Structure 1
Amino acid sequence: MTATTHPTTMKAWLYTTTSPTLEANLTLHSTARAPPAPLKPSQVLIRVLTTALNPADYKVPAMPIVSTALIRKPASPGLDFAGEVVATADTTTTSSSSSSSSSSSFTPGQLVYGTLDLPTQFGTLAEFLIAREENLSPIPEGVSLDHAATVGVAGMTAWQSIAPFFTPDQGERVFINAGSGGCGIFAIQIAKALGCMVTTTCSTKNVQLCRELGADEVIDYTTEDVVAVLKAQGQVYDHVVDHIGLPAELYNECHAFLKPGKTFAQVGATRFPTFATRLLRPGFLGGGKRRYLPIFWKPNKSDLVRVGELIQTGKVKVVLDSVWEFEDAPKAFEKLRSERARGKVVVHVAEA
């Protein structure tokens, strides 16, 4: 593919503001501007087939500095995807007299999965995007497009919040707060794949799901006092992963159930100030007495590949809450924002 055949337009969902919500401002365009040519070294042009939505897709663009300074408008939301390689830098003529000197590990027509670095003008709710090779991997044999598309943010975040803290197959114990969400479902299974004993929380309707995913103990937060149950067990946990920041006293009381020298990892929270409050309030003033570590997702190719391999071998099962067609993307965002999704919310962008 040469620069002259690089697509100039595409179908895309675009927004120009996130007030009152991003999805309320999404408009479908059939001739939106495509990502610009030429490709730079290590860049890959992808035709998006499937995207999996994450809370970050609507939360981050709504942050004032991101909305005003970091994302040019109109923009398409979305970070995670599975798609087809259209072109790489070394298959694209970058000027009339020379070609890119890079040698890509990807080839046109190849099916890949991956993620973008950050919310951008050219997100995944569009026909084409440009991704870095470091954020891509071939889809493992036997893994579906829909399943591969879910790995980026949720799968890698779950891996990064658990794997670095354990020696595999030592039978260590981990408490995962909120196990039925997009990231929690990955976290339970990754912990089990590493040989951990897992305790998790969820509502009554999701207890069976968490057990099927491998959780050894499930605490129903609608019928039990989570903190009281944990404190009654004593200092038995080697690691804590909190996805929601509730109950509010969970971190402050974690010394009663988390072993000395171990880490309380905060992956997400219903309210962003939770991070600052827990991080800055000292133990002698009622704050937590264990190491507090906010986990912010960071694209990493080896993590992307590892989670993909776990899906391929059946050690991690992808749970899809719902699958939407491209024309219904705003409804998919509404489902995600409802916080009632059990698993991942996926949108089909194009046919394979």
Structure 2
Amino acid sequence: MKTIAINQYGPATEFNLLELPKPTPTADEVLVEIHAFSINPMDVAGRQGQLGAPFTDQWSFPLVLGWDFAGVVAQVGAHVTNFALGDRVFGAIASAHAATNGTYGEFVAAGTEELAKIPAGLSFDQAAALPIGGMTAYYGMTHSLDLQPGQKVLVQGGAGGVGLFAVQIAKALGAYVATTASANHRELLMQLGVDQVIDYHETSPAAVLHDFDAVFDTVGDIETGLKVLKSDGKLSTIAGQPTPAQQHDQNKQVAFQFTQGSAADLAALADLVVTGQVQLTLTTLPFSAASVTQAHQTIEGHHTTGKQVIHVKD
């Protein structure tokens, strides 16, 4: 099968098109013919050699990166009963995938814990954009923060791959949503229903927001988020580690979020897209090493709006 792999850790220009054997699914896995995959900041960290265990436990070179995918079931393991040949599916593979079983290729062996069927009305490219970024945001809003209708939430970094999902999911849950973003993203975020957009280059959210119920931090600015929270509010961060002092700030609940999404969560997120409650902002590129290099450089340079998706086949 064709894959896009690296032979050593390094810059985004390390990617090459390589022919490698198809992965062999276990009895608890399915083999998926990939139609699209998306790229996340953790992919960039993996390519740079910045990820440790458990991610790298089975890694060697050549290394095929990637976790998000959408495609068609091509083989079903003996113990799998909820998927069949030909099913259109999307999901994420386990963090600790084998070196040649990443999603930057034509096939991937995937477990079923984070695998769902693609509903009618959702394309492969759209479905591939959902798993890690979308699930991180969905888990944050519904589990980590347990956001309720009428509550106020600040999403720090609302125009990024996770942030765009987070602001829309929060609105779908009935919350008042404020977010930080550059001025050039203000119009997009307002169109998506955000109630208040703060240009962080000009204004600190702590200067204008007070007594918020929740903060979802995607940029690593925990200290500012804490200033926005009410005394018993909740802050969840995916971009930093709270200090002991921050974790004991009044009665506030402050924690790093370890996302544990499920197939049911994926299905619920897909339904939000199909029903128009979450709109996707995608940059779609053809299947090539140059495209993956470009996507990595875009993410690495913090120029991302929405998701970078690689279209493999129709």
- Per the normalisation by structure 1, the TM-score is 0.82
Matched, 1:264 2:235: yes
Picking from 16, 26, 30, the partner of 2:15 is 26
Write out per-residue CA displacement over residues 240-289 of structure 1, whole angstroms, 9 at most, x where no aligned residue.
Answer: 0010013x6314xx2x4312222111022xxxxx41xx3334578xx786
Contact 2:22 2:107 in 1 (8 A): yes
Pairing of 1:235-274 with structure 2 (within 5 A): 235=211, 237-246=212-221, 249-251=223-225, 254=226, 256-268=227-239, 274=240
The structural deviation recorded for 1:196 is 0.4
Pairing of 1:308-319 with structure 2 (within 5 A): 308-319=270-281
| Secondary structure, aligned partner of 2:125 | helix
Picking from 130, 152, 160, the partner of 2:139 is 160
Picking from 55, 58, 71, the partner of 2:59 is 71
Equivalent-residue separation in structure 2 for 1:88 and 1:43 (angstroms) = 7
User: Match of 1:96?
Assistant: none
| Secondary structure, aligned partner of 1:63 | coil
| Secondary structure, aligned partner of 2:20 | strand
| Secondary structure, aligned partner of 2:8 | coil
Equivalent-residue separation in structure 1 for 2:51 and 2:177 (angstroms) = 38
Picking from 127, 135, 157, the partner of 1:148 is 127
Contact 1:79 1:119 in 2 (8 A): no
Equivalent-residue separation in structure 2 for 1:16 and 1:80 (angstroms) = 21
Letter in 1 for 2:21: R
The structural deviation recorded for 1:44 is 0.3
User: Match of 1:197?
Assistant: 176
Picking from 283, 295, 300, the partner of 1:332 is 295
Pairing of 1:1-352 with structure 2 (within 5 A): 10-19=1-10, 21=11, 23-29=12-18, 31-36=19-24, 39-60=25-46, 62-63=49-50, 65-66=52-53, 69-89=57-77, 100=78, 102-118=79-95, 120=97, 121=99, 122-164=101-143, 165-166=145-146, 168=148, 170-230=149-209, 234-235=210-211, 237-246=212-221, 249-251=223-225, 254=226, 256-268=227-239, 274-275=240-241, 278-281=242-245, 290-320=252-282, 322-327=283-288, 328-349=291-312, 351-352=313-314
Equivalent-residue separation in structure 2 for 1:303 and 1:340 (angstroms) = 28
User: Match of 1:3?
Assistant: none
Letter in 1 for 2:4: W
CA RMSD of aligned residues (A): 2.0
Letter in 2 for 1:338: G
Deviates further, 113-122 or 138-147:
113-122
Report the CA distance shift for 1:195/1:325 in structure 2 as closer, same or farther (over 3 A).
same
Equivalent-residue separation in structure 2 for 1:205 and 1:339 (angstroms) = 14
User: Match of 1:6?
Assistant: none
Equivalent-residue separation in structure 1 for 2:202 and 2:95 (angstroms) = 38
**Stretches of structure 2 lacking an aligned partner (at least 5 in a row):** none
| Secondary structure, aligned partner of 2:150 | coil
Letter in 2 for 1:79: W
Equivalent-residue separation in structure 1 for 2:246 and 2:301 (angstroms) = 34
Contact 2:37 2:125 in 1 (8 A): yes
| Secondary structure, aligned partner of 2:216 | strand
Contact 2:38 2:69 in 1 (8 A): yes
Write out per-residue CA displacement over residues 120-141 of structure 1, whole angstroms, 9 at most, x where no aligned residue.
Answer: 3211111110001222111110
Identity of aligned residues (%): 30
- Per the normalisation by structure 2, the TM-score is 0.91
Contact 2:2 2:106 in 1 (8 A): yes
The structural deviation recorded for 1:17 is 1.9
Contact 1:80 1:124 in 2 (8 A): yes
